[in-house]
Every structure is written in structure tokens, then in C-alpha cells.
Amino acid sequence: MKFNNRNVYISPKATIGKNVKIGDNTVIYDNVVIGDNSVIANDCVIGEPVSDYYDDSNYENGVTLIGEGAFIRSHSIIYCNTTIGKQFSTGHRVTIREKSIFGDGCRVGTLCDIQGHVTFGNHCWLHSNVHIGQQSTIGNFVFIYPYVVFTNDPHPPSNVCIGPTVGDFSQIAVFSVLLPGVKIGKHCLVGAGSIVGKDLEDYMLAVGNPAKAVKDVRDIRSRETGESHYPWPQKFSRGMPWENEGFDTWKETAGSKYF
């Protein structure tokens, strides 16, 4: 189904699954595979070629895989050689460059810029206006809030590219910057406006410019109740795989591969 059947191009070399809805003014390039029950909204480009396309007469577009149940909103551009898992969604005007890999259940907010050659695990949520530099590696269940930047050049401009690494269940708060090659452990929290240039062990809260490890996140407690806020999966379930059964039950079954 096309929204209004206006100005839509689908390559004969593309594979479109069942019950896929494709919006007006959208282009689907060669070697794109879109899973069942997906929505590609108006003015999107899926499988955008890399720069060789414009100069190489023998160019062949790399394979772009989008899992079932995707919801890609208007004006999003996804380059070729990208692999995206099930139940993926974007906001508007998202750019995802080539050789990006996303697990299942990931969300990428409006105006995010994913510079390619990056890897995301499952159920990562990026809010609006996030920039992820090349060679970054993000684990599972990582939340990245607005205006966060992942950098990758230790001595710009140079030919060196070393992206940050973020472990499972960590959160990077608004306006934070991760410097090239920094490694963030599991269940960490980087406070708003922090510039992180040193590695963080698991469960650490880091704040400041330059960011410093302040305390174990499990020591952050509510002023009202005295209860610990972290690890956050035990307090938050909306949209998570454990929403209907609770984190502890899920952890013992489907979640065991993360621990």
C-alpha cells in the first residue's frame, strides 16, 4: 500500500514484505529488504547509495535490511549496507549513514545524525538531536538524551577514528559529550552537560567538565522515600520487554542473555 500513490519509486531489486505502507515522495533503492508490517512515511529515502554511486559506472548498492514492524517517519534517510532489527522506529528527519547496525526495538528521535560504522544493541532509545560519530559501540537498553555528542577523533583533524563504547543499561544525559575512545561501563549514569574523557566502571555516576566519577548509582536515593532509583530497570518498564511481567521475572527468562 502507498499512502496516496504519488511520486513513489521502488526499485525492482527491492524486496517489500507483507502489509508494508509506503508514503508519498519516497525512494526505495536497489537491494533494500523491508520486513512485514512496516511503515515508511512520506519523503523518505531507504538504501541511499554511498558516494561511489556517482562516479563508478559498475557500482552496485549494498544490502539494506529493515526488520519487521518498523515505523520510519517522514524525511528520514537510511543509507545502504545498514542492518536494522525488528520494531525499529524513528522521529522525523533522521539520518543513518552506511554500515550501521541496530538490534531489535531501537528508537531514534527526530533530527538524530548517525554517522555510520556504528553498532547498537537491542532496545536503545535515542532522543532528539543526538549525534553519534563513526566507530561508536552502544550496548543494550542504552538511553541517550537530547543534544548528546559521541566524538571519535582524538587529535582533529586526523586519520584516527576511535568511537566511544557504552555498556548495557547506561544513560547519557542531555548536552553531554563523550570523547574519542572513552569506555562507559554497564548501568552508568552520565549527568547533564558532562564531558567524559576517562573510562567509567560499571554502576558509576559521573558529572562535570571534565567528568568525574562521583558515586555508585545504587547510592542515589529519593529524598521523599529513601528508595534507590537505580538500577533503573527495576523502576521503569514502559516500552520495555519486561513491561508485563516485571524486570526480575524477565531477567530470569528472556533477559538471561544480558547478564
What pLDDT, on a 0 to 100 scale, did the predictor assign at position 15? 97
pLDDT for 29-82, tens place per residue?
999 999 999 999 999 999 999 999 999 999 999 999 999 999 999 999 999 999
**Least confident stretch, 146-150, 192-196, 203-207, 218-222:** 218-222
pLDDT at residue 259 greater than cutoff 80 = no
The grid coordinates listed for 194 are: 558532562
Q: pLDDT by residue (tens digit) across 176-186?
A: 999 999 999 99
Q: CA-to-CA distance for 208 and 210, rounded, in angstroms?
A: 5
Q: Give the per-residue pLDDT at 142.
A: 98
Instruction: Say yes or no to pLDDT of 1 above 60.
Output: no
**% the chain with pLDDT above 70:** 97
Other beta carbons within 10 angstroms of residue 207's beta carbon come to 18
Q: Is residue 249 part of a domain?
A: no
Taking 80 as the threshold, does the pLDDT of residue 257 lie above it? no
93 domain residue, yes or no: yes
In a domain, 246, yes or no: no
- Reported as a single tens digit per residue, the pLDDT across 85-135 is 999 999 999 999 999 999 999 999 999 999 999 999 999 999 999 999 999
pLDDT for position 223: 82
- pLDDT class for 253, splitting at 50, 70, 90? confident
Sign of the alpha-carbon torsion through 73, 83, 202, 194: negative
- Please check whether residue 247 lies inside any domain of the structure: no
Instruction: Find, among 143, 139, 151, the residue nearest to 113 by Cα.
Output: 151
Q: What distances in angstroms separate CA 76 from CA 82, 96, 138, one per listed residue?
A: 14, 8, 21
Has residue 170 been placed in a domain?
yes
The answer as to whether 232 is a domain residue is no
Q: Which of 11-20, 198-207, 243-252 has the lowest mean pLDDT?
A: 243-252
Question: Is 238 domain-assigned?
Answer: no
- Residue range of the domain that includes 190: 9-224
Phi, psi at 232, each rounded to 5°: -65, -30
Q: How many domains does the chain have?
A: 1
pLDDT tens for 133-160 read: 999 999 999 999 999 999 999 999 999 9
| 245 domain-assigned | no
Average pLDDT, the chain: 95
**Cα gap 85→83, rounded to integer Å:** 7
Cell numbers placing 143: 538511553
CATH code (residue 79): 2.160.10.10
Q: Which residue has the cell 513491561?
A: 243
